Structure 1
Amino acid sequence: MSGKSSLAGRSLVDGAAFGPLLYADVGLSFWGGVDPFSGEVIDRHHPLSGQCLAGRVLAIPSGRGSCTGSSVMMELISNGHAPAALVLAEADEILTLGVLVARTLFERSLPVLCIGKEAFGALRGKAFARVDDTHLSLFDSVPDDTTSEPLSDVPTTDSATPIELTEHDRALLDGSYGKAAQVAMQIVLRMAQLQGAGQLIDITQAHIDGCIYTGPASLRFAQQLVEWGAKVRVPTTLNSISVDQRRWRELGIDPALGVPASALGDAYMAMGAQLSFTCAPYLLDSAPKAGEQIVWAESNAVVYANSVLGARTLKYPDYLDICIALTGRAPLIGCHLESQRKARLHVELPPLANLDDAFYPLLGYHIGALAGSRIPLVSGLEQQHPDHDDLKAFGAAFATTSAAPLFHIAGVTPEALNPEQVVDGPLPVIKISLQDLRLSWQELNSARDPKVDVVSLGNPHFSLSEFAHLARLCQGRQRHPEVVLAITCGRAILEQARAAGHIAVLEAFGATLVSDTCWCMLGEPVIPPAARNLMTNSGKYAHYAPGLVGRKVHFASLAECVDAACSATASGRLPLWLQTTASLENPAHV
């Protein structure tokens, strides 16, 4: 008889399942962290790297990183490579939404159970687990009977939240506006219940991340909505898609990807979305104003909108984004509420000097991992005056390692110009030393061979000011013939950069320009098959690339990237701000 223990929690998606327990105490981004076709964990920085999720009860504290995790979850369920069940320490809307959409569209599902942070540690070291709606049974070895059994002596915590509906909400729900709007409203209400929202709010615009092609299920979902007559009710922009829609054949992309990925973008435009195809919608003229209630997906865009623009959005999962765009209604919860935008952690920086543009993505990457799902207040940058490109790079890397949709930087970001405004009571404090940042630098620099084959720029998409900076660095120089330097950007910024003369300089240098898509979706042949090492100034891509494309990475400043493009060699130099002898004690982790 195997040792057995039982726990209870909140059922996010009901169901029963049994399997070997796969446990980690670190959150996992399914996009860029899990192969949607095999279920293998491909995040090479994660403790579960190389493990296969299929048929196992996956226990992680929460998701993190990309909003596209819901799409990957739906693909895994549809192709039979999903976990048997998902057990979480805290509720995760991104992964849960992927399960709910798979249930709606494919009539296939898996149980999702949230047991709380305190109980979660009890899973460590257990070999097998059974989920039965709100109950979790743990075993040291295979039990004699793996079927479900009632556990009535264990209290449950699940409860439904009543939601106030307007007449318009009810009309959407009863099908008066068509099948697509009806199904979308059903999904919005189910997520609102799980989130504990008591009412819905009107939103002014949406940014859709679900246009990224993760496999046949993602295309089937969008085309089904089109067949049901879906039309967006608010101005809606589209994230990067998986190919350059105008040039994918010219770039040598396999039609097996190019055709469905392009069709997916067309499907969302058929619903009334704008042809924007950018992961940086905050660079468009339609960027929201402070206080505006919006629904954006794409993790870096969400963080930038909340933190730098002062708009109001959650980190919306793929597919919930389009459901809200089709209804114009979103749950009033989280960062839509002023009270939920307060800092929950204070991060103090050491003395800093001689900063370059590599500092901000590295800092964002490091703080994101420390913060987890907590909103941080960062102090120590008051005299550094980071610009919008610095904050873009910080936010993208922060969103890669954190589940939080917002950060505050004292004296810099709009809601923290007076830091006391984002503090509501005493905060736990973490002090970062330069040695801590050095360790994160080493983590992002996974390449050991100094050779550089590809220089990757534009994750997130390049801004006009970044193009200007790069053009100055490339002026009068020539890329090494064995190095590919490629830049991804949105169509609107590309045309602005062309009009400003920056593109002519970069084309003379030998750069490749790719629009519509982003590095998280690019692979061979844009990355030559023989290429071994990439170089980037993006903390986000330095994290994801080893898993997504199987290459090692050199991470450094934009100037170092251009030097490497000319020499085909990474210098390996530490930036001046990491070479300084100034340091603090190791951080006090709270």
Structure 2
Amino acid sequence: MEFISHGRTLVAGDAKGELLSALVGLSFWGGVDPQTGVVIDQHHPLRNQSLAGRVLAIPSGRGSCSGSGVLLELILNGHAPAAIVICEREEILTLGALVAEVVFEQSIPVLRVEREVFTRLGEYRYARVAGPSLQLFHEPPVKDWQPEQAQHESSEYMTIRLDAVDQAFVSGQHGKAAQVAMRLLLRMAAVQEAEAFMDVSQVHIDGCIYTGPASLRFAQMLVDWEARVRVPTTLNSISVDKRRWRAQGVLEDLGAPASALADAYLAMGAQPSFTCAPYLLESAPRFGEQVGWAESNAVIYANSVIGARTMKYPDYLDICMALTGRAPLAGCHLDAGRRATLALEVEMPEGADDAFWPLLGYCCGSVCGTEIPLIRGLEKSGAGPNELKAFGAAFATVAAAPMFHIAGVTPEADDQRSEHQVRISLGELRQAWEVLNTAASPEVGLVSLGNPHFSLEECARLAALVRGRTKSADVAVIVTCGRAVHEAAFQAGHVAEAEAFGVQFVTDTCWCMLDEPVIPPAVRTLMTNSGKYAHYAPGLVGRGVRFGSMAACVEAACSGKGQHELPAWLGQGRSEKALVLSQRPV
């Protein structure tokens, strides 16, 4: 043994293996193949590495709430890391391991260590996690070790106050499904260091995304246990267009289980909203309302733009809150958990178009990591809901933080102060542009719009941009949106105008779930105005990406070519290829 340290056990266990470490957080959804454990995020330093059987050390998770579902798949199919070591607050991956343990009696250890210890991990090649102990080696550890006894879960939440409502769930008075849900909530409350539980008025479920057999197995177990939601519950985008997947040519081995997963949540009483933008629904929460939302962009929007209160809840904890109406009283549910800890000074370039907002969100999310930022310099920007939606989705893709504040724009920003300050210059924006524009060729075969789902206003703007124009026959244009928005856009005539241009509308699902044949197999390069999809697409669908404004996307649809030059507001010509912009390392 070369080095030993102790940390905080989040999920107990004993495992060893080759050490695989990075100073940048990793989103398992969109970043790791749930069937093989290979890192598919082409912007991450661990890209193309296999996590299977290795001790993975990253500062924290980041990005999508569905990372818990991917880790559960990996644990049950035998391709998970042997253990996970982190140094920041982390709940998404932790919850995946907890579900595996509590529901399926399989798991991997998760250990949080001090930042000073974490920064030393790169010096070693092998590691062993044994309860709270982290042991590091230059050579493979000896084989004659004895696994430590895992601590009993009840000891982890003895200090959490349970009222009569909570006790009824724990004792099984409301059935087995609610009892198991409360067990998972208790384990997460311990991780979050909550002292009590609170009521939530509504829940948005992200766990309806099909990550593999484990996601369906979990939901069907709850149905078999006669699970029923206790508060109004909306469903996120699912993995297929539920009403039209067969007509779109989606294979049965994806379409059938993905649709069955949605049916399971509907059977529990959830609403068939099927949108990743629940803030566009009439049921959107009000300022100060305590809710339990999953889906990274939705959480960011709810907290930051609406001023509702939710944690960045992992998949599967969402249904636990829906079945109980309870959530740990911690984090962003409290005033203290919503305070800015980092100030970002930015400047809006003269003449900036709508691509500025996702680009800036990507930069800010990359810099802040787990810290909640106060962003200054946009007081006169006139940012509205669509701009903040685009900003927040890109921010959530690369950040672990649950919210942001923009001075003069978002509702709680005026109360924020932070001495720690970072400036984001035009140079950082150019660097992010290069990172998101991965295609070598300007040729475009697909224009991808609606990640997150299009709003009614965006449908109207697209209709105006394509009015009287002719699309190239070689370019597909696809918009994803929720059923409610699609119906409103249809009634307003926006759908007809867009379809006359050649736009195809897809509902129920979103771009992070779409693949061939909805994406034409011959397409090698796509163009999008989404910072979120520009980040994920190279790993998810293996295509090069062109990123730009909505108007630039329409130009590409007409010409078959994406802009190769930087937009005028970013500077003339192409900037030099920059290093990959990523979450600020520890």
Secondary structure of the structure 2 residue equivalent to 1:67? coil
Q: Does 1:271 align with 2:251?
A: no
Whether the 8 Å CA contact 1:341–1:422 is kept in 2: the answer is no
Q: Which whole-Å deviations, capped at 9, do the CAs of 1:236-277 have from their partners, x for residues lacking one?
A: 000000000000001110010000000100100100000100
Q: Which amino acid aligns with 2:539?
A: G
CA distance in 1, matches of 2:146, 2:404: 43
Q: What is the aligned counterpart of 1:232 among 220, 229, 240? A: 229
Letter of the 1:81 counterpart: H
Determine if contact 2:355/2:529 at 8 Å carries over to the other structure. yes
Partner of 1:58: 56
Structure 1 residue aligned with 2:416: 422
TM-superposition CA deviations, 1:66-90 (whole Å, max 9, x none) = 0000000000001000000001112
Task: Please give the per-residue CA displacement for 1:534-575, whole angstroms capped at 9, x wherever unaligned.
Answer: 100000000000000011100000000000011111122322
Question: What do the CA deviations read for 1:363-386 (whole angstroms, capped 9, x no partner)?
Answer: 000100100000000011111111
| Correspondence 1:465-544 to 2 at 5 A | 465-544=457-536
Q: Are the aligned partners of 2:19 and 2:57 in contact in 1 as well (CA < 8 Å)? A: yes
Query: Any idea what the Cα deviations from partners look like across 1:368-419, whole Å, max 9, x if unmatched?
Result: 0100000000011111111110000000000001000110000001111x2x
How far apart, CA to CA, are the structure 1 residues paired with 2:257 and 2:143? 45
Q: Secondary structure at the match of 2:120?
A: helix
Structure 1 runs (4+) deviating above 6 angstroms are: none
Alignment partner of 1:305 is 2:302: yes
Q: Which one of 286, 291, 313 corresponds to residue 289 of structure 1?
A: 286
- Are the counterparts in 1 of residues 565 and 572 from structure 2 also a CA contact under 8 Å? no
Any idea what the Cα deviations from partners look like across 1:36-94, whole Å, max 9, x if unmatched? 00000000000000000000000000000000000000000010000000011123110
Letter in 1 for 2:80: A
- Give the aligned partner of residue 152 of structure 2: none
Cα distance in 2, alignment partners of residues 442 and 529 from structure 1: 25
Instruction: Output the amino acid matched with 1:431.
Output: R
- Rounded to whole Å, the distance in 2 between the matches of 1:326 and 1:111 is 27
Counterpart-to-counterpart distance in 1, 2:311 and 2:148: 37
Q: Which position in structure 2 is the counterpart of 1:154? A: none
Give the superposition deviation at 1:125. Answer: 2.6
Instruction: Tell me the residue number matched to 1:175.
Output: 172
Partners of 2:37 and 2:472 lie apart in 1 by 38
CA contact (8 A) 2:311 2:333 kept: yes
SS at match of 2:123: coil
3-state SS of 1:414 partner: coil
Say if 2:333 is the partner of 1:341: no
Q: What residue in structure 1 maps to residue 454 of structure 2? A: 462
Partner residue of 2:357 out of 341, 351, 360: 360
Indicate if the aligned counterparts of 2:443 and 2:560 stay in contact, CA closer than 8 A: yes
Q: Offset of 1:350 from its aligned partner?
A: 3.1
Contact 2:349 2:570 in 1 (8 A): no
What's 1:155 paired with? none
Paired position in structure 2 for 1:257: 254
Aligned equivalents of 1:357 and 1:150: distance in 2? 55
1:436 is aligned to 2:433? no
From 6, 25, 28, the equivalent of 2:26 is 28
Match of residue 44 from structure 1: 42
Q: 1:146 to 1:434 in 2, by over 3 A?
A: farther
* C-alpha contact (below 8 Å) 2:171/2:179 kept by paired residues: yes
Which residue in the other structure is 1:93 paired with? 91
Amino acid aligned to 2:556: A
* Aligned-pair identity (%): 61
| Mapped contact 1:132–1:148 kept (Cα < 8 A) | no
SS at match of 1:289: coil
- Asked if the contact 1:196/1:333 (under 8 Å) is kept, the reply is yes
Instruction: Name the aligned partner's letter for residue 397 of structure 1.
Output: A
Secondary structure at 1:304's aligned position in 2?
Answer: helix
Native 8 Å contact 1:233 1:325 kept in 2: yes
What is the alpha-carbon distance in structure 2 between the residues aligned to residue 413 and residue 189 of structure 1?
Answer: 33
Q: Does the CA-based 8 Å contact 1:305-1:312 persist in structure 2?
A: yes
Contact 1:453 1:534 in 2 (8 A): yes
> CA contact under 8 A between 1:161 and 1:198: conserved in structure 2?
no
Match of 2:240 in 1: 243
| SS in structure 2 of the partner of residue 11 of structure 1 | strand
The answer (yes or no) to whether the contact 1:37–1:79 under 8 Å persists in 2 is yes
User: Does structure 1 conserve the Cα–Cα contact (< 8 Å) formed by 2:14 and 2:148?
Assistant: no
Where do 5+ consecutive residues of structure 2 fail to align? 150-154, 576-580
Letter in 2 for 1:529: P
**Equivalent-residue separation in structure 2 for 1:150 and 1:13 (angstroms):** 13
How far off is 1:172 after superposition? Answer: 1.0
Output the CA distance in 2 between the equivalents of 1:179 and 1:195.
24
1:21 partner SS? strand
Cα displacement (A) at 1:144: 3.4
Q: Hey, what's the Cα distance between the residues in 1 that align with 2:156 and 2:329?
A: 18
Instruction: Give the alignment partner of residue 115 of structure 1, picking from 102, 113, 116.
Output: 113
CA distance in structure 2 between the aligned counterparts of 1:181 and 1:106, rounded to whole angstroms? 16
- Other-structure match for 1:446: 438
- Structure 1 position 148, deviation (Å): 4.3
Deviations 1:171-199 (A, max 9, x none): 11111110001100111111101110001
- Alignment partner for residue 160 of structure 2, among 154, 159, 163? 163
Distance 1:484 1:446 in 2: 19
Structure 2 distance, partners of 1:576, 1:311, is 37
Cα displacement string for residues 494-538 of structure 1 (whole angstroms, at most 9, x for unaligned residues): 000000000000110011110000000000001111211010000
Residue 122 of structure 1: CA displacement? 1.2
Query: CA 1:101–1:351 in 2, change beyond 3 Å: closer, same or farther?
Result: closer
Give the direction of change, closer, same or farther, for the CA distance of 1:148–1:136 in structure 2 (3 Å limit): farther
Find the residue that maps to 1:266 and give its secondary structure: helix
Tell me the secondary structure at the aligned position of residue 25 of structure 1. Answer: coil
Query: With structure 1 as the length reference, what TM-score do the two structures score?
Result: 0.95
Describe the SS at the equivalent of 1:124.
helix
**Using the alignment, how far apart are the partners of 2:379 and 2:104 within structure 1?**
51
Q: Flag the 1:185–1:350 CA change in 2: closer, same or farther, 3 A.
A: same
Q: Contact 1:58 / 1:85 at 8 angstroms: preserved in 2? A: yes
Give me the TM-score of the superposition, normalised by structure 2.
0.96
- For 2:76 and 2:162, the matched residues in 1 are separated by 33
Partner of 1:574: 566
Q: For the residues of structure 2 that align with 1:130 and 1:143, how far apart are their CA atoms?
A: 8
Residue type of the alignment partner of 1:422: Q
Structure 1 match to 2:101: 103
TM superposition shift of 1:4: 1.1
Distance in 1 (CA, whole Å) between partners of 2:566 and 2:379 is 24
Structure 1 residue aligned with 2:16: 18
